[in-house]
Structure 1
Amino acid sequence: MTAHLGDFGLAKIIADSNSEVILDQTSSVGLKGTIGYAAPEYGMGSKATKEGDVYSFGILLLHVFTGKRPTDDMFRDDLNLHKLVQMCLDENVDEMVDPTLVLGEAAAKPCPHLKGINECLISLLRIGEACSRELPRDRMEIHDALNHLLKLKTIF
């Protein structure tokens, strides 16, 4: 449970900066983020945005609930953590979720009372998937993600 990223708030840090060099920066030289968590548009020289922070948040959710890092060796060619979750979301969620999240014997065998937990985990993965979409305009807005998370907290 050790944090390994520092991407959140990049948009605010850059926007609040008094340095015109940083504000006008369009290369990745002035922008540092955690590999795998930084939004794909940052690699193409885009400025830090709120949507980039949303992407980082989404990838973090996917990492926490799958137990897979976005930099894992399994992610090659066109496969990444977002796409893996997207492919498995509806059918193979039990295989996708980190088994250490469900404690005891419940992790080893199906249990009827876990249906609610699985629904909660699916909802969390859906939020992560919606926040980590490749195009910034397709990502869930952070206030919507927060509302969904608060609703889940109330339900579960």
Structure 2
Amino acid sequence: MTEYGIGNEVSTFGDIYSYGILLLEIFTGRKPTDEIFTGSLSLHQFAKLALPERVMEIVDPNLLSAEVEGLNESQTHTNAKSKLEKCLISTITVGVACSAISIKDRMDIEDAMVEMQRIRDLYLGVGINDTNN
């Protein structure tokens, strides 16, 4: 379901929906029109059902291979993988919250941006000593 495609007026509610779907597309590598999304299963539902335990199963493997490639088998590798998984869970959660079917259930754009910045900072290790991430 794309809101603009069914005649709804352009609004920030539609924008946040589109942002959520875009996040889900980028991080899962799937399109809302993929063949697996039939009946009641949508990209939104697919991602929502994976949260949080199965997120690594739905993430685009191309994203993971690029990140894990440079890490060695050490404690650092384990910590980096754990941090990556936390960030991916958080990112998919934002995508799901932004693409909720009901407008009143959608994450506010300001909250989404604050959360995405927090995820970026956690991933990059920015401000780790300043806050309890």
Report which of the two structures shows the higher radius of gyration computed on alpha carbons.
1
Is 2:46 the partner of 1:84? yes
**Mapping of residues 10-89 of structure 1, within 5 Å:** 38-39=2-3, 43=6, 45-89=7-51
Q: 2:109 aligns with which of 139, 142, 150?
A: 142
Percent identity for Structure 1 against Structure 2: 37
Deviations 1:19-70 (Å, cap 9, x if unpaired)?
A: xxxxxxxxxxxxxxxxx5x327x62x43221100100000000000001111
Structure 2 CA distance, aligned partners of 1:96 and 1:56? 19
The alignment partner of 1:103 has SS state of helix
TM-score (norm 2): 0.79
| Structure 1 residue 71, shift from structure 2 partner | 0.6
Aligned to 1:101: 63
Q: Is the 8 A contact 1:39 1:53 kept in 2?
A: no
**Alignment RMSD:** 2.1
Structure 2 CA distance, aligned partners of 1:92 and 1:155? 21
| Structure 1 residue 105, shift from structure 2 partner | 9.2
Code of the aligned partner of 1:152? I
Q: 1:116 aligns with which of 83, 97, 106?
A: 83
TM-score (norm 1): 0.68
| Structure 1 residue 153, shift from structure 2 partner | 1.6
Is 2:96 the partner of 1:132? no
Q: Taking CA–CA contacts closer than 8 Å with sequence separation of 6 or more, which of the two structures ends up with the larger relative contact order?
A: 2
Give the structure with the larger helix fraction.
2
| Structure 1 residue 83, shift from structure 2 partner | 0.2
Code of the aligned partner of 1:135? S
Segments of 5+ residues of structure 1 without an aligned counterpart are: 1-35
